[in-house]
Amino acid sequence: MYARIYAQVRAIPRGRVSTYGGIAKLVGCGPRQVGYAMAALPAGSKVPWQRVINHKGEISCRSHGSGARGQRAQLLEEGVCPGKKGRIDLKRFGWPDS
């Protein structure tokens, strides 16, 4: 299952994001399983995990400190800019188109 999840995450274009639930629907599993798959990625993986966010358009907190800051920095580098409340506009940046 993880291989299918990773394949879908690799398909998210640069400058776009998807939600855990969005990936889950494409793969046929639950959003938590997508979260577990993202957490299981080894350091240095080429899977663009930073492009997966929660259903509110927010970066989910990580159990280790700097993960959310790193994710935000990577998304900003790709041109994905959170709004005033820190949420990413899924209508603008969502993939597949929301």
Q: Which helix (H) or strand (E) holds 2?
A: helix 2-10
Domain assignment of residue 60, given as a range: 2-93
* CATH number of the domain encompassing residue 20: 1.10.10.10
User: What pLDDT, on the 0 to 100 scale, is given for residue 96?
Assistant: 87
Tally of domains in the chain: 1
Any domain includes 98: no
Q: What share of the chain in percent tops pLDDT 70?
A: 94
Q: What share of the chain in percent tops pLDDT 90?
A: 79
Render pLDDT for 51-84 as a digit per residue (tens, 0 to 9). Answer: 999 999 999 876 555 678 889 999 999 999 999 8
Residue keyed to tokens 């639950």? 30
Any domain includes 42: yes
Any domain includes 79: yes
User: What pLDDT, on the 0 to 100 scale, is given for residue 76?
Assistant: 96
Any domain includes 88: yes
User: What pLDDT, on the 0 to 100 scale, is given for residue 66?
Assistant: 62
User: What pLDDT, on the 0 to 100 scale, is given for residue 75?
Assistant: 96
